[in-house]
């Protein structure tokens, strides 16, 4: 199982955050170095059915198989996507073990999930570093997992490069849109390369294994739990490596002075870059469908996007409406190397997993996320604050 290695990337001195043709300056550090943050980050996550039985020294609900109960190990479950996936799995009756080293995630999110599902045998949290092989072996020896959803990663593209590179993790800059699963993979930044390497290792491993493997490649993830229980709360020091909705919310809050859109003369309907935004609720739905349809000995690879591109200008307008703040936007000249259009062809996942994106109203997704952001000025807060 250790072959599903973690992604290690280096940090970089950043001066401003750029979001696929859009960026916002860090008010604390004024400089002209511009590091681009890949916007159409495509991700690899894996659901692996673990088929062998293990023996245990002691028995807990998590160490025993139970008829009709599927036990899922969620790595990175304290993070943004992992916590939303855990909520959905618990709601659907799965048993969940979260493994996270809390380097990025929030124990507050885990506490909320535990409060929602306090019954024994529903949710267990294990603090561990997946880079620690001994710890991982122990976790597998002591727990009876049926499947793994792997979200743990150092997941900020901006951290993975010091160079002004462009979008689209494992696919690089494809010649043709939309991106299908057959689009050639030529990752152009360390983030994308690490994802591709992880995929290759999994594919190699699966050749001699009867595990069921599903690899999902995401586009830009936005939104949060519509019922407002969970949100996105990266460590403050990572803000400048930001994600696009984080940039919008920080600008709306006045933490950042505004947004900068770079390039208004692309060959798109309004001249700004086009990207594919996927709501986290749809994304975790794709994971559950992938888990349900995983077949031993087989590998499924799927793009998870809406298939609809939205321009940066549309995103900014949706952000203004969702937050009700008239965010200051500067429209600037293009950066070299920005790709005009990046969006997915989601037909394979629709045909094979019966999945389609349903939360496709950008403004609504941002509104939901903004509601959580407004009610949680300090994110999940510190553990001592959370304990109540
Ligand atoms: N959020 C996006 O827009 C987006 C887009 C494309 C792909 N992805 C991918 O989705 C996955 C999850 O992303 P996210 O946005 O939820 O990130 P996140 O940073 O919120 O969550 C990652 C979690 O993994 C944990 N973690 C990291 N290294 C670990 C280790 N060695 N051992 C144990 N736990 C560890 C962190 O503490 C954190 O809780 C990543 O693989 C990421 O690359 C995210
Ligand atoms: C957690 O994982 C990250 C990345 O995989 C690593 O850089 C960090 O040192 C780990 N932290 C702890 C406390 O284990
Ligand atoms: C596909 O999903 C839709 C919507 O959830 C559902 O109504 C339909 O029955 C599903 N079709 C199949 C073949 O499973």
Residues contacting residue 368 through CB under 8 Å, at least 6 positions apart: 223, 224, 225, 226, 228
Ligand nearest to the CA of 9: 2
Distances in Å between the Cα of 30 and the Cα atoms of 27, 34, 48, 252, 333 are 6, 11, 45, 20, 19
Ligand 2 contact, 129 CB (< 6 A): yes
191 is catalytic: yes
Q: In whole angstroms, give the CA distance from residue 155 to residue 78.
A: 13
Please determine, for residue 197, whether its predicted confidence score (pLDDT) is greater than 50: yes
Task: Classify residue 351 by burial, with Cβ atoms within 10 Å: 0-12, 13-18, 19+.
Answer: exposed
Please determine, for residue 192, whether its predicted confidence score (pLDDT) is greater than 50: yes
- pTM value > 0.75: yes
**Arithmetic mean of pLDDT, 249-257:** 90
The closest residue, in CA terms, to atom 4 on ligand 2 is 154
| Alpha helical stretches, state H, 151-256 | 190-207, 244-253
Tokens linked to 130: 């997946």
Please determine, for residue 76, whether its predicted confidence score (pLDDT) is greater than 90: yes
Mutate to test the pocket of ligand 1, among 8, 98, 152 (most ligand atoms within 8 A of CB): 152
Tokens linked to 242: 């930001």
In 3D space, the residue among 309, 316, 306 whose CA is nearest the CA of residue 244 turns out to be: 316
Average pLDDT of every residue of the chain: 81
Q: Where are the beta strands (DSSP E) in the chain?
A: 16-19, 22-25, 35-37, 45-49, 71-75, 95-100, 123-127, 147-150, 213-218, 220-222, 259-262, 274-275, 277-279, 299-304, 310-311, 329-332
CB 153 within 8 A of CB 75: no
CB 335 within 8 A of CB 163: no
Q: How many CA atoms lie within 13 A of 169 on its CB side?
A: 25
In 3D space, the residue among 93, 95, 147 whose CA is nearest the CA of residue 121 turns out to be: 95
Mutate to test the pocket of ligand 2, among 9, 76, 105, 129 (most ligand atoms within 8 A of CB): 129
pLDDT at 341: 86
Q: Where are the beta strands (DSSP E) in 263-306?
A: 274-275, 277-279, 299-304
Alpha-carbon dihedral sign for residues 139, 145, 147, 151: negative
Ligand 1 contact, 129 CB (< 6 A): yes
Element (H, E) at 315: helix 312-323
What atom of ligand 2 comes closest to residue 6's alpha carbon? 5
Distance in Å, CA 382 to ligand 1 centroid: 20
The catalytic position among 80, 191, 339, 380 is 191
Q: In whole angstroms, give the CA distance from residue 192 to residue 170.
A: 5
Mutate to test the pocket of ligand 1, among 39, 40, 80 (most ligand atoms within 8 A of CB): 80
pLDDT tens-digit readout, 34-59: 222 222 233 344 444 444 444 445 68
What atom of ligand 2 comes closest to residue 129's alpha carbon? 14
pLDDT at 177: 84
Of residues 147 and 377, the one with the higher pLDDT is 147
pLDDT tens-digit readout, 289-309: 999 999 999 999 999 999 999
CB 311 within 8 A of CB 268: yes
């Amino acid at each position: 199982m250790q072959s599903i290695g973690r992604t290690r990337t280096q940090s970089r001195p950043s001066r401003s955050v750029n979001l696929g043709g859009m960026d916002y300056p860090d008010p604390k550090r004024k400089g002209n170095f511009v590091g681009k943050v890949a916007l159409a980050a495509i991700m690899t996550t894996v659901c692996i059915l673990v088929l062998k039985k293990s023996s245990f020294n002691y028995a807990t609900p998590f160490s025993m198989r139970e008829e009709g109960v599927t036990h899922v190990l969620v790595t990175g479950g304290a993070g943004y996507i992992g916590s939303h996936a855990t909520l959905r799995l618990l709601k659907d009756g799965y048993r969940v073990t979260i493994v996270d080293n809390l380097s990025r995630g929030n124990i507050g999110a885990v506490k909320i999930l535990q409060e929602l599902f306090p019954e024994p045998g529903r949710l267990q949290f294990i603090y561990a570093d997946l880079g620690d092989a001994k710890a991982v072996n122990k976790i597998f020896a002591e727990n009876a997992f049926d499947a793994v959803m792997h979200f743990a990663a150092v997941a900020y593209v901006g951290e993975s490069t010091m160079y002004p590179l462009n979008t689209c993790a494992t696919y690089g800059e494809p010649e043709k849109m939309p991106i299908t699963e057959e689009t050639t993979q030529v990752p152009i930044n360390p983030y994308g390369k690490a994802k591709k390497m992880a995929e290759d290792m999994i594919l190699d491993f699966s050749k001699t294994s009867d595990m069921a493997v599903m690899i999902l490649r995401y586009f830009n993830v936005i939104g949060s739990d519509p019922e407002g229980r969970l949100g996105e709360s990266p460590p403050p020091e990572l803000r400048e490596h930001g994600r696009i909705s984080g940039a919008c919310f920080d600008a709306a809050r006045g933490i950042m002075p505004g947004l900068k859109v770079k390039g208004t003369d692309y060959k798109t309907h309004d001249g700004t870059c086009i990207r594919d935004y996927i709501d986290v609720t749809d994304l975790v739905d794709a994971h559950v469908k992938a888990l349900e349809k995983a077949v031993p000995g087989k590998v499924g690879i799927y793009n998870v996007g809406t298939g609809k591109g939205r321009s940066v200008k549309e995103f900014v307008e949706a952000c203004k409406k969702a937050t009700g703040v008239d965010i200051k936007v500067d429209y600037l000249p293009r950066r070299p190397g920005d790709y005009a259009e990046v969006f997915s062809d989601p037909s394979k996942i629709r045909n094979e997993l019966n999945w389609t994106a349903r939360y496709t109203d950008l403004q609504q997704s941002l509104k939901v996320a903004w509601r959580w952001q407004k009610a949680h000025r300090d994110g999940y807060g510190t553990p001592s604050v959370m304990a109540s």
